[in-house]
Protein backbone atom coordinates (compact mmCIF):
# COMPACT_ATOMS: atom_id res chain seq x y z
CA UNK A 1 0.00 0.00 0.00
CA UNK A 2 1.31 3.43 -0.91
CA UNK A 3 1.92 5.76 2.03
CA UNK A 4 2.04 9.53 2.22
CA UNK A 5 4.27 11.43 4.65
CA UNK A 6 4.76 15.04 5.61
CA UNK A 7 8.13 16.77 5.13
CA UNK A 8 8.75 17.36 8.85
CA UNK A 9 11.74 16.01 10.73
CA UNK A 10 11.82 12.19 10.97
CA UNK A 11 11.27 12.24 14.75
CA UNK A 12 8.02 14.15 14.29
CA UNK A 13 6.81 12.67 10.98
CA UNK A 14 3.19 11.66 10.69
CA UNK A 15 1.49 9.51 8.13
CA UNK A 16 -1.12 11.35 6.08
CA UNK A 17 -4.11 9.23 5.16
CA UNK A 18 -5.20 9.41 1.51
CA UNK A 19 -8.75 10.24 2.53
CA UNK A 20 -7.56 13.45 4.21
CA UNK A 21 -6.02 14.63 0.93
CA UNK A 22 -9.23 13.87 -0.97
CA UNK A 23 -11.30 15.61 1.69
CA UNK A 24 -9.04 18.66 1.50
CA UNK A 25 -9.41 18.90 -2.27
CA UNK A 26 -13.19 18.58 -2.04
CA UNK A 27 -13.27 21.30 0.62
CA UNK A 28 -11.15 23.57 -1.58
CA UNK A 29 -13.46 23.03 -4.53
CA UNK A 30 -16.50 23.74 -2.36
CA UNK A 31 -15.05 26.96 -0.99
CA UNK A 32 -13.91 28.21 -4.41
CA UNK A 33 -10.18 28.01 -3.64
CA UNK A 34 -9.77 25.73 -6.65
CA UNK A 35 -11.86 27.27 -9.46
CA UNK A 36 -13.90 25.03 -11.70
CA UNK A 37 -12.93 24.93 -15.36
CA UNK A 38 -15.09 26.68 -17.94
CA UNK A 39 -16.21 23.28 -19.22
CA UNK A 40 -17.75 22.48 -15.82
CA UNK A 41 -20.12 25.46 -16.04
CA UNK A 42 -20.27 26.50 -19.69
CA UNK A 43 -23.23 28.81 -19.27
CA UNK A 44 -24.03 31.34 -22.01
CA UNK A 45 -26.22 34.40 -22.05
CA UNK A 46 -27.98 33.72 -25.36
CA UNK A 47 -30.89 36.13 -25.86
CA UNK A 48 -32.18 39.26 -24.09
CA UNK A 49 -35.04 41.74 -24.14
CA UNK A 50 -34.34 44.84 -22.08
CA UNK A 51 -37.49 46.91 -22.47
CA UNK A 52 -40.18 47.57 -21.59
CA UNK A 53 -39.16 46.51 -18.09
CA UNK A 54 -42.32 44.44 -17.69
CA UNK A 55 -41.12 42.22 -20.54
CA UNK A 56 -37.40 42.07 -19.70
CA UNK A 57 -36.16 38.50 -19.88
CA UNK A 58 -33.10 36.43 -20.77
CA UNK A 59 -32.36 33.02 -22.20
CA UNK A 60 -29.50 31.00 -20.73
CA UNK A 61 -27.88 28.06 -22.54
CA UNK A 62 -25.81 25.26 -20.98
CA UNK A 63 -23.24 23.86 -23.40
CA UNK A 64 -22.29 21.16 -20.88
CA UNK A 65 -20.88 18.75 -20.04
CA UNK A 66 -22.66 18.74 -16.67
CA UNK A 67 -26.01 19.78 -15.25
CA UNK A 68 -25.92 23.33 -13.82
CA UNK A 69 -27.98 24.45 -10.82
CA UNK A 70 -28.66 28.19 -11.06
CA UNK A 71 -29.70 28.60 -7.42
CA UNK A 72 -27.95 31.69 -6.04
CA UNK A 73 -26.94 32.91 -9.50
CA UNK A 74 -28.06 36.36 -10.66
CA UNK A 75 -28.73 38.50 -13.72
CA UNK A 76 -26.93 41.85 -13.57
CA UNK A 77 -27.95 45.06 -15.31
CA UNK A 78 -26.83 48.67 -14.92
CA UNK A 79 -29.93 49.50 -12.89
CA UNK A 80 -29.98 46.48 -10.60
CA UNK A 81 -29.63 42.78 -10.08
CA UNK A 82 -32.10 39.89 -9.86
CA UNK A 83 -31.23 36.69 -7.98
CA UNK A 84 -32.49 33.43 -9.44
CA UNK A 85 -34.64 31.09 -7.38
CA UNK A 86 -36.88 28.19 -8.25
CA UNK A 87 -35.17 27.61 -11.62
CA UNK A 88 -34.92 23.95 -12.60
CA UNK A 89 -31.32 22.73 -13.14
CA UNK A 90 -30.28 23.04 -16.80
CA UNK A 91 -29.06 19.81 -18.44
CA UNK A 92 -26.30 19.86 -21.07
CA UNK A 93 -27.71 21.35 -24.25
CA UNK A 94 -30.66 22.77 -22.32
CA UNK A 95 -32.07 26.29 -22.11
CA UNK A 96 -33.77 28.33 -19.43
CA UNK A 97 -35.91 31.39 -20.18
CA UNK A 98 -36.06 33.73 -17.19
CA UNK A 99 -38.53 36.58 -16.96
CA UNK A 100 -39.82 38.90 -14.23
CA UNK A 101 -36.40 40.54 -14.03
CA UNK A 102 -37.76 43.99 -13.24
CA UNK A 103 -36.23 47.29 -14.27
CA UNK A 104 -32.56 46.20 -14.17
CA UNK A 105 -31.46 47.03 -17.73
CA UNK A 106 -30.58 50.49 -19.04
CA UNK A 107 -32.60 50.96 -22.27
CA UNK A 108 -30.04 53.05 -24.17
CA UNK A 109 -27.13 50.78 -23.36
CA UNK A 110 -25.20 49.02 -20.64
CA UNK A 111 -23.96 45.61 -19.56
CA UNK A 112 -26.19 42.57 -19.20
CA UNK A 113 -24.45 39.71 -17.45
CA UNK A 114 -24.67 36.45 -15.53
CA UNK A 115 -22.99 36.07 -12.12
CA UNK A 116 -22.70 32.68 -10.44
CA UNK A 117 -23.29 31.81 -6.79
CA UNK A 118 -19.60 32.49 -6.01
CA UNK A 119 -19.91 36.05 -7.37
CA UNK A 120 -17.91 35.24 -10.50
CA UNK A 121 -18.93 36.89 -13.80
CA UNK A 122 -19.74 34.05 -16.20
CA UNK A 123 -20.93 35.74 -19.39
CA UNK A 124 -22.18 39.14 -20.52
CA UNK A 125 -22.67 41.59 -23.33
CA UNK A 126 -22.13 45.35 -23.67
CA UNK A 127 -24.86 46.91 -25.77
CA UNK A 128 -26.09 50.28 -26.99
CA UNK A 129 -24.10 53.41 -26.17
CA UNK A 130 -21.52 51.53 -24.10
CA UNK A 131 -20.84 48.53 -26.31
CA UNK A 132 -20.58 47.08 -29.77
CA UNK A 133 -23.88 45.20 -29.67
CA UNK A 134 -27.06 47.09 -30.62
CA UNK A 135 -29.61 48.08 -27.98
CA UNK A 136 -32.96 46.40 -28.63
CA UNK A 137 -35.83 48.87 -28.97
CA UNK A 138 -38.92 48.53 -26.84
CA UNK A 139 -41.23 47.51 -29.68
CA UNK A 140 -41.32 47.32 -33.45
CA UNK A 141 -44.27 47.10 -35.81
CA UNK A 142 -43.87 43.34 -35.54
CA UNK A 143 -43.79 43.28 -31.75
CA UNK A 144 -40.89 42.85 -29.32
CA UNK A 145 -37.27 42.84 -30.45
CA UNK A 146 -34.50 40.82 -28.80
CA UNK A 147 -30.71 41.05 -28.67
CA UNK A 148 -29.36 37.59 -29.41
CA UNK A 149 -26.20 35.65 -30.05
CA UNK A 150 -25.45 34.85 -33.66
CA UNK A 151 -24.54 32.12 -34.13
CA UNK A 152 -26.53 30.52 -31.33
CA UNK A 153 -24.59 29.39 -28.25
CA UNK A 154 -25.26 25.78 -29.30
CA UNK A 155 -23.21 26.34 -32.46
CA UNK A 156 -20.06 24.23 -32.84
CA UNK A 157 -17.62 25.80 -32.24
CA UNK A 158 -19.44 27.93 -29.69
CA UNK A 159 -19.00 31.71 -29.81
CA UNK A 160 -16.62 33.11 -27.18
CA UNK A 161 -17.76 34.31 -23.75
CA UNK A 162 -16.12 37.70 -24.11
CA UNK A 163 -18.01 41.02 -23.86
CA UNK A 164 -15.15 42.76 -25.70
CA UNK A 165 -16.18 41.18 -29.01
CA UNK A 166 -19.90 41.95 -28.72
CA UNK A 167 -20.27 43.37 -32.21
CA UNK A 168 -19.12 40.13 -33.83
CA UNK A 169 -21.54 37.77 -32.10
CA UNK A 170 -24.68 39.72 -31.18
CA UNK A 171 -27.43 41.21 -33.30
CA UNK A 172 -31.12 42.16 -33.19
CA UNK A 173 -33.91 39.70 -33.90
CA UNK A 174 -37.31 41.06 -34.95
CA UNK A 175 -38.84 37.64 -34.24
CA UNK A 176 -37.38 36.51 -30.89
CA UNK A 177 -36.76 32.80 -30.44
CA UNK A 178 -36.70 32.37 -26.65
CA UNK A 179 -36.54 28.68 -25.76
CA UNK A 180 -35.15 27.51 -29.11
CA UNK A 181 -31.99 28.15 -31.15
CA UNK A 182 -31.46 31.67 -32.51
CA UNK A 183 -31.97 31.73 -36.27
CA UNK A 184 -31.04 35.30 -37.19
CA UNK A 185 -28.00 35.66 -39.54
CA UNK A 186 -24.70 36.79 -38.09
CA UNK A 187 -24.31 40.57 -38.55
CA UNK A 188 -20.76 40.30 -39.93
CA UNK A 189 -20.34 44.00 -39.22
CA UNK A 190 -18.14 45.89 -41.64
CA UNK A 191 -18.53 43.23 -44.31
CA UNK A 192 -22.23 42.95 -45.12
CA UNK A 193 -23.21 46.60 -44.63
CA UNK A 194 -21.38 49.79 -43.66
CA UNK A 195 -22.38 53.22 -42.42
CA UNK A 196 -20.49 55.42 -44.88
CA UNK A 197 -21.63 58.93 -43.98
CA UNK A 198 -24.09 60.61 -41.65
CA UNK A 199 -25.37 64.07 -40.79
CA UNK A 200 -26.98 64.72 -37.42
CA UNK A 201 -28.32 68.05 -36.23
CA UNK A 202 -28.92 68.22 -32.44
CA UNK A 203 -31.02 71.39 -32.91
CA UNK A 204 -33.25 69.53 -35.41
CA UNK A 205 -33.27 72.53 -37.79
CA UNK A 206 -31.76 70.54 -40.67
CA UNK A 207 -32.65 67.23 -42.22
CA UNK A 208 -30.87 64.28 -40.67
CA UNK A 209 -29.45 61.66 -42.99
CA UNK A 210 -27.37 58.50 -43.05
CA UNK A 211 -25.64 56.84 -45.99
CA UNK A 212 -25.24 53.07 -46.11
CA UNK A 213 -23.08 51.10 -48.49
CA UNK A 214 -22.40 47.49 -49.37
CA UNK A 215 -18.62 46.85 -49.31
CA UNK A 216 -17.03 45.94 -52.61
CA UNK A 217 -14.07 43.61 -53.11
CA UNK A 218 -12.21 46.33 -55.06
CA UNK A 219 -12.67 49.98 -56.18
CA UNK A 220 -13.11 48.75 -59.76
CA UNK A 221 -16.36 47.00 -58.84
CA UNK A 222 -18.32 50.20 -59.48
CA UNK A 223 -20.16 52.84 -57.48
CA UNK A 224 -22.22 51.99 -54.40
Average pLDDT over residues 116-135: 90
Note the pLDDT of residue 220.
Answer: 43
pTM of the full structure: 0.68
Phi, psi of 164 (to 5 degrees): -70, -25
CA 88 to CA 110: how far, in whole Å?
28
Say which residue, 224 or 152, is predicted with more confidence.
152
CATH architecture of 38-173: Sandwich (2.60)
Portions of the chain given CATH number 2.60.40.1260: 38-173
Phi, psi of 29 (to 5 degrees): -60, -45
Cα distances (angstroms) measured from residue 174 to each of 101, 141, 144, 192 = 21, 9, 7, 18
Per-position DSSP letters for 145-206, written without gaps between them:
-EEEESS-TTSSSPPP--GGGHHHHEEEESS--TTS---SPP--TTTS-EEEEEE--TT--S
Amino acid sequence: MQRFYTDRAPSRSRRVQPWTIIAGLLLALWSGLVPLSAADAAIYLNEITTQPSTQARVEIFNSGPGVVDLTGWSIQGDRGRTYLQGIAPIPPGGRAVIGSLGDIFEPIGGLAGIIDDLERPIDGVHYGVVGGAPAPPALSMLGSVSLCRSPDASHDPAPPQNPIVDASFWTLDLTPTFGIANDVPNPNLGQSLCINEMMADPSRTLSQAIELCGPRPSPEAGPT
